[in-house]
Amino acid sequence: MEFIFDHFAPHQLSAIRAVTDVFKGQPNAGGFFDNSQSDIGSVEFGERGIGNRLVLSPEALLKNISEIQKSNGLAESVNLVPRVDISEELSAKGVDLNISVEMETGTGKTYSYIRTIYELYKTYGFCKFVIVVPSVAIREGTLKNLEITAKEMRALYGVPANYTVWDSANRNALRNFSASNSLQILIINIDSFASDSNIINTVTEQGVKPIEFLQATNPIVIVDEPQNMETPIRRRAIDNLNPLCTLRYSATHKNPYNLISRLTPVDAYNAGLVKQIQVDGITAEQNYNAAFVALKEIQCGKARLKAKVTIFVNGEAGSVNQKDVVLSLGDDLFIKSNRREIYRDGFILESIEADKGLIEFSGGLILRVGDSQGGFTDELQQFQIERTVRWHFERAKKLHPLGIKVLSLFFIDKVANYRSPEGKAKFEGYFEEAFTKYSKKSEYEGLIPYGADEVHRGYFSQDKKGVLKDTKGVTKDDEDTYSLIMKNKEALLNLENPVQFIFSHSALREGWDNPNVFQICTLNESVSEVKKRQEVGRGLRLPVNSDGQRIVDKDINLLTVIANESYEAFTRALQTEIEEDTGIPFTGKIADANRAKVQVRYTKAALTRENYPLLFDLWDRVSFHTRYAVSYEEATLVSKAIDFLKDKNHYPTVTRLTLQSNTAKIQMSGEGLLAQSTSNALRETQGRANAIPDVFGFIQSRIKLSRSSIAGLFKGCGRIDELMINPQRFLEYVVAVFERAKNEILYEGGVKYEKGPAWDASYTQKLFTDELGEVLQDQVLEVRPDFADKTAFNYYRTDSAIEDNFARDCEVNEAVKFFFKIPKGFKIPTPIGNYTPDWAVVLEHDSKLYFVSETKGTLDPGKLRDEERFKIRMGSQFFSALQTDIGYKLAVKASDLIKSA
């Protein structure tokens, strides 16, 4: 399988454009701008290799950043160095340029920054990039993404990238990275260069530190998950790479320096860019007659050790509460529990062994971190596993016929609970018992044609003897584990691969995910203290089918979390985390998996012309194949572009480029080569002729135009002299005005639809049949019984209160004879993606009238987003091309259609 990427996802393009716009006015080097002999290009040739060069002044950068922030509705930066900890030494190097991009987990953050690399190379000629990651898991994920996008990026940009992972055993790789004049990407773990003792920072026999080759390239540094690299040591390590710019990508920034693009969890959920979440909270009535004790952690203080445990405590009015208490040696649980009788004998803490992670009580009870006794742990975990298997079979029955493989992910905190040298451990036994039970049920017979022992797999680290280990995810032992998971991502998505249930150590929560995880089960022996966003994030990515195509159907894209706590507790914790991280309320976004469901069915026995004559009357008018063509006169395009370019309020007069130069003195010392900044200077390019680029090649690489059209704009704009002053900036204007002119022409009628043959009757049946089945009750609006004859289904699949109101208005409006929500499979193709209108309505007003309606909160298209306005315009042109008496209208209520009749 090869993943198919959407190259036109608006949220990703917006993030990419925001970063490239930071450098507006920066001259290119090589390619269209032949600046190889110029001192103002984006590439610098030095003794230690070929590197990036930033020539824009801090003032120009700040202006660009402020414009981007203003356009994206973000707070504008007042300077470029918001960091208070920057040293004089670092300040002397020049601009400390940190740029932040916030993208919710699962929305293509890695794809976005990979494509940004290629875009910066194409647009400005920057050729050296370093991706800094906080862990082995994220490193392997990044490498995998570079591999699976390489073919697509080469097709889009026409150039390959050389990418590699820093390996201390191959120091010469950095010499090659520095010397090459091609696009170079290095992936490196922060812990590989944060310490002076790291090999990369150690002087070699040649008297050079390997890191000096990186420093010489002035790389653009991309920091993945920067909130994990905010300690002073790690910040200094990143600054020590001598970056031209540091681009910071995260869903949860700790310090969003110069934030230029933001996609919040609420944005992602509302736009359907990630799976929706429902929680199946599993709790049990506690056995208060037992002496429940759970060891959560051992705390190592300066003077003594302490143990944090969970016990039952007597409360007010005879109540019993579960509470965390911290114990020192000699503490008695009888006293700590407010004299709860069950702890009277044998519960004095006698020993704490931090190296072994265990404690011992006077009665002989020994607990290790994560262990508990006296609760319903085993029964609860067995029930969680059974519920996960049940959800899996339910989902597989629906999705396997669509070519979508379902995966379930179990997080455990001790490997021994899943695998044991002596035989099956408890989780393995619980799982195989549950799988066998459901695979034998008549409704699931033959659905998963594999045995219980074939469908599950554990991914854990192991030592040299093959013994599985509990690790933290940052050791050498983890590397083979991560590599195995990442390199088999596509294989796991193959329906012919029997593995569908994955048991994973808790350390793999960060950095590993698979788009087809539909269930996550947290099998902890106490309620997990790992952040909920981190747990849930492993399953948020939208799924793919067997052809590698991304699925965007909200009815399919649902993640079920089987948590060892109540729905209310899990939801409250997740909502609180999101609100603390983003400052945006997240209430009402997480569903209870056990909420009520209903069956959508036809209001009559079957979908036939006899039962629904008005439905078929209307549908016969819209069910045609169509195709569209984009056409416009280039003369009109040039004329509009000239008018736009003459507007100097939008496109100010280009001024001479202000350049920043840094002078460095190279000195030899016992530690190797040292670069010491001796001066910084700003100057303008006055009194010299700038190298004129291949203007036709530059423009044609960004928009399809004839050379005569480009020449026509230059002749007619009256601003050709500005090309000599600042070629890059002026050509950016030219591309921008052509794009703006093209979009306006398309909106005004440049897209022409052509009517084709009618659909096959079986396809119509399939579209409507796909709307049937079980849905969540709170996602639909029930048809009132008195109006069942006026519509096709017993429930309306509405998306908002606006649609609810429209449906109720149609029910009671006597002029509306029949109406229904248009099936989601009905697509109108447009240049910016497919579009599905909202409603089909049959009116009786003097004569019979047929409408397709789009319901918004306004009748004024000018108040809608540009994308919405464009699709509504395309809808109008589409229905006009059908040449039937179907009307297409924007409406808030049914009477709006009558007024337009």
Rounded CA gap, 305 and 118, in Å? Answer: 53
783 lies in a domain?
yes
Q: Is 545 helix (H, G, I), strand (E, B) or coil?
A: coil
- How is the beta sheet containing 886-891 ordered, strand by strand? 816-821, 839-845, 847-855, 886-891
pTM over 0.85: no
| Shared domain check, 318 and 242 | no
Residue 476, pLDDT score: 47
Indicate which CATH number applies to the domain containing 610: 3.40.1350
Residue 676, pLDDT score: 43
Rounded CA gap, 407 and 544, in Å? Answer: 12
C-alpha count within 13 angstroms, C-beta hemisphere, residue 823: 19
Rounded CA gap, 807 and 819, in Å? Answer: 9
**Listed residues 742, 776, 808: the one ending a domain:** 742
471-500: average pLDDT: 65
49 lies in a domain?
yes
Query: By percentage, how much of the chain surpasses pLDDT 90?
Result: 43
Given pLDDT bands bounded at 50, 70 and 90, which one contains residue 166? Answer: very high
| Shared domain check, 249 and 150 | yes
Given pLDDT bands bounded at 50, 70 and 90, which one contains residue 662? Answer: very low
771 Cβ contact list (under 8 Å, min separation 6)? 600, 793, 797, 823, 824
| Shared domain check, 77 and 107 | yes
Residue 712, pLDDT score: 92
340 lies in a domain?
yes
- Outline where 423-566 has alpha helix (H): 426-439, 478-487, 489-492, 532-537
Rounded CA gap, 773 and 398, in Å? Answer: 10
Residue 305, pLDDT score: 93
Please, what is the average pLDDT of the chain? 84
831-856: average pLDDT: 84
| Shared domain check, 228 and 102 | yes
Indicate which CATH number applies to the domain containing 453: 3.40.50
Rounded CA gap, 730 and 152, in Å? Answer: 30
228 lies in a domain?
yes
Rounded CA gap, 861 and 863, in Å? Answer: 5
Residue 397, pLDDT score: 95
| Shared domain check, 428 and 340 | no
| Shared domain check, 201 and 176 | yes
Residue 900, pLDDT score: 64
| More confident call, 792 vs 285 | 792
- Outline where 400-450 has alpha helix (H): 426-439
Q: Could you identify the residue written with the tokens 């021994």?
A: 416
| Shared domain check, 607 and 561 | no
Q: Strand 795-796 vs strand 839-845: parallel, antiparallel, or unpaired? A: unpaired
| Shared domain check, 202 and 67 | yes
CB 821 within 8 A of CB 815: no
Given pLDDT bands bounded at 50, 70 and 90, which one contains residue 575? Answer: confident
| Shared domain check, 507 and 383 | yes
458 lies in a domain?
yes
**Listed residues 594, 614, 642: the one ending a domain:** 594
Residue 705, pLDDT score: 87
What are 754's two structure tokens?
């052509």
- The boundaries of the domain holding residue 325 are 293-373
730 lies in a domain?
yes
148-169: average pLDDT: 91
Residue 489, pLDDT score: 73
809 lies in a domain?
yes
Given pLDDT bands bounded at 50, 70 and 90, which one contains residue 850? Answer: confident
pLDDT for 230-241, tens place per residue? Answer: 899 999 999 999
pLDDT for 314-362, tens place per residue? Answer: 888 777 788 899 999 999 999 999 998 889 999 999 999 998 889 999 9
Q: How far is CA 522 from CA 6, 427, 870, in A?
A: 32, 12, 44
What are 525's two structure tokens?
């022996």
Looking at the 3D structure of the chain, how many domains does it have? 5
Residue 519, pLDDT score: 95
Given pLDDT bands bounded at 50, 70 and 90, which one contains residue 117? Answer: very high
- Outline where 488-633 has alpha helix (H): 489-492, 532-537, 567-582, 613-622
Given pLDDT bands bounded at 50, 70 and 90, which one contains residue 681? Answer: very low
Residue 473, pLDDT score: 42
Indicate which CATH number applies to the domain containing 82: 3.40.50.300
Q: Strand 795-796 vs strand 781-782: parallel, antiparallel, or unpaired? A: antiparallel
Angle of helix 634-645 relative to helix 707-717, nearest 10 degrees? 30
Q: Is residue 664 over pLDDT 50?
A: no
Given pLDDT bands bounded at 50, 70 and 90, which one contains residue 81? Answer: low
368-395: average pLDDT: 86
Residue 461, pLDDT score: 55
Angle of helix 727-745 relative to helix 707-717, nearest 10 degrees? 110
273 lies in a domain?
no
CB 346 within 8 A of CB 337: no
pLDDT for 498-556, tens place per residue? Answer: 999 988 875 444 556 789 999 999 886 555 555 677 778 888 899 999 988 899 888 89
**Listed residues 373, 401, 436: the one ending a domain:** 373
pLDDT for 29-75, tens place per residue? Answer: 544 444 444 455 676 766 667 899 998 888 999 999 999 999 999 99
pLDDT for 390-441, tens place per residue? Answer: 999 999 999 999 999 999 999 887 788 888 777 788 999 999 999 999 999 9
Rounded CA gap, 277 and 283, in Å? Answer: 19
Rounded CA gap, 178 and 46, in Å? Answer: 10
799-816: average pLDDT: 92
Rounded CA gap, 602 and 599, in Å? Answer: 10
Q: Is residue 670 over pLDDT 60?
A: no
C-alpha count within 13 angstroms, C-beta hemisphere, residue 885: 9
* Range with top average pLDDT, 262-276, 418-432, 435-449, 725-739: 435-449
| Shared domain check, 492 and 566 | yes
| Shared domain check, 605 and 589 | no
Is 644 exposed, middle or buried, given 0-12, 13-18 or 19+ CB atoms closer than 10 A?
Answer: buried
| Shared domain check, 329 and 216 | no
Amino acid, res. 599: Q
Amino acid, res. 815: A
